[in-house]
Amino acid sequence: MSKIKVKLSNCEQFINKNDYKSIFSEIENALLLLENKQGKGNDYLGWIDLPNTISPLLLDDLNKTAKKIRSESKVLVVIGIGGSYLGSKAVINGLKGYFSNKGIEVLFMGNSISSTYISEIIDYLSDKDFSINVISKSGTTTEPAIAFRVINELLIKKYGKKASGRIYVTTDENKGALRKLANEHKYKSFIIPDNIGGRFSILTPVGLLPIAVAGFDINLLIKGAKQAYEYGDENIKNYVAARNILYRQGKKIEIMVNYEPKLHYFTEWWKQLFGESEGKDGKGIFPAGVDFSADLHSMGQYIQDGERILFETVLNIENPIKDYSIPITKDNTDGLGYIEGKSINYVNSKAMRGTIAAHIDGAVPIIEINIPSLNEQTIGYLLYFFEKACGVSGYVLGVNPFNQPGVEKYKTNMFTLLGKPGY
């Protein structure tokens, strides 16, 4: 069983026992509402049982497809935005070596409308063998649609009639322009179940295909998610309790903190999950993120001393993937004699403990999530843990965590400005 643990001892001085007691019954009710599928947005709860119900045949197909892509291409271009790319990017960046150029390169596209990015990726790909995984639940989102049209042109120039064999589509079973394209051109395609929204889709082919192509074990990822599914409720309740009590005290911003920059995109995934799920009806904790110790030299001042509306959730990786000793020198000119011979991770862990103590002194409560090490299983656990915590927390807040009506406004304005028919 996973040893991932939510630790609240660094919140104790900000939360009294009665606050806990009173919110726990709300949390139990929210959990029941979610599990019995009786709450708001209950037609989007297909992700809840996924760790237990995902079909071995689908996993097999995904693994075989990943192998084929790896054998044919040096680069996989993953096209998608929001929930259609952040999960796989989070997992791949979390697990891949910082400078590793082993195996296939996975690049992301269609998550902005940067003409510079698009032009540069086209140049970069022009002399490389590549395949495409285009991902869109609605099949109509503008950013990935533009990216697909552009990159498909390059693919056809390079491979002619064989281009379609390098296109892998992940979309709705029946609806949307992408499904139509996939059917017409007979692209190999995977289905995003109707009852799973984008930001909850990491354990569907949306996340699993790019992760498998990158060479990571999706079966282990699911195994980790299953541990959270079966045994994660205590952690979920503690996390949801602390963040909602703090929110009610006026702590409106939750900063996800890591001391391992590999987790930068994990934070981006979490920000989308909670931001899009909770930020509505004039309510919701604003999810922010920092990478320490780098951001201690930028955001550290505000966190220590700025407006007291913050709390932190620290992702503490207890054992690093690799460690290194600080060299011992004779002259100690750089003044590092007091830590020479110590491991870099030892220093990082003291930086973390020192920062936690300083921030508590500065009235910033800290929720700590202790993670034994970073691997497919622990990341799988965290993905499901945060998804379920987000659903429960949204219900405690009194919103529908599974819609995103606010996202439409910019689209309507943009389409009007672009002269899209019907706008």
Closest CA to 141 of 111, 97, 106, 96: 111
Q: List, in order, residues 6 or more apart from 221 with CB less than 8 Å away.
A: 91, 203, 208, 211, 376, 377, 379, 380, 383
Q: List, in order, residues 6 or more apart from 346 with CB less than 8 Å away.
A: 339
Task: Between 233 and 387, name the residue whose CB sits nearer to ligand PA5.
Answer: 387
Amino acid at 401: P
- What values do phi and psi take at 280, rounded to 5? -160, 165
Crossing angle of helices 218-231/233-248, nearest 10°?
Answer: 70
User: Smallest distance from the beta carbon of 269 to ligand PA5, in angstroms?
Assistant: 11
Concerning whether 297 is annotated as a catalytic residue, the answer is yes
User: Smallest distance from the beta carbon of 82 to ligand PA5, in angstroms?
Assistant: 3
Site residues, ligand PA5 (CB under 6 A): 81-84, 136-138, 141, 144, 197-199, 276, 404
Catalytic residue among 17, 297, 322, 330: 297
Residue nearest to ligand PA5 (CB): 198
User: Smallest distance from the beta carbon of 273 to ligand PA5, in angstroms?
Assistant: 8
Helices (H) and strands (E) in the chain, counts: 15, 10
Catalytic residue among 64, 350, 411, 420: 411
User: Smallest distance from the beta carbon of 403 to ligand PA5, in angstroms?
Assistant: 9
| d(C-alpha 100, C-alpha 86), whole Å | 20
Is 388:236 a contact under the CB 8 Å cutoff? yes
Q: What is the DSSP string of 261-322?
A: GGGHHHHHHHHHHHHHHH-BTTB-PEEEEEETTGGGGTTHHHHHHS-S-EEEEEEEEEE-S-
Is 366:311 a contact under the CB 8 Å cutoff? yes
User: Smallest distance from the beta carbon of 303 to ligand PA5, in angstroms?
Assistant: 28
Task: Between 303 and 390, name the residue whose CB sits nearer to ligand PA5.
Answer: 390
Catalytic residue among 276, 278, 312, 376: 276
Task: Between 276 and 368, name the residue whose CB sits nearer to ligand PA5.
Answer: 276
Task: Between 34 and 196, name the residue whose CB sits nearer to ligand PA5.
Answer: 196
Q: Using alpha carbons only, give the angle 190, 192, 197 rounded to the nearest 5 degrees.
A: 160
User: Smallest distance from the beta carbon of 415 to ligand PA5, in angstroms?
Assistant: 15
**Cα separations in angstroms, 144 against 74, 222, 415:** 21, 27, 15
Task: Between 6 and 135, name the residue whose CB sits nearer to ligand PA5.
Answer: 135
Concerning whether 312 is annotated as a catalytic residue, the answer is no
Task: Between 47 and 247, name the residue whose CB sits nearer to ligand PA5.
Answer: 47
Residues that are catalytic: 276, 297, 411
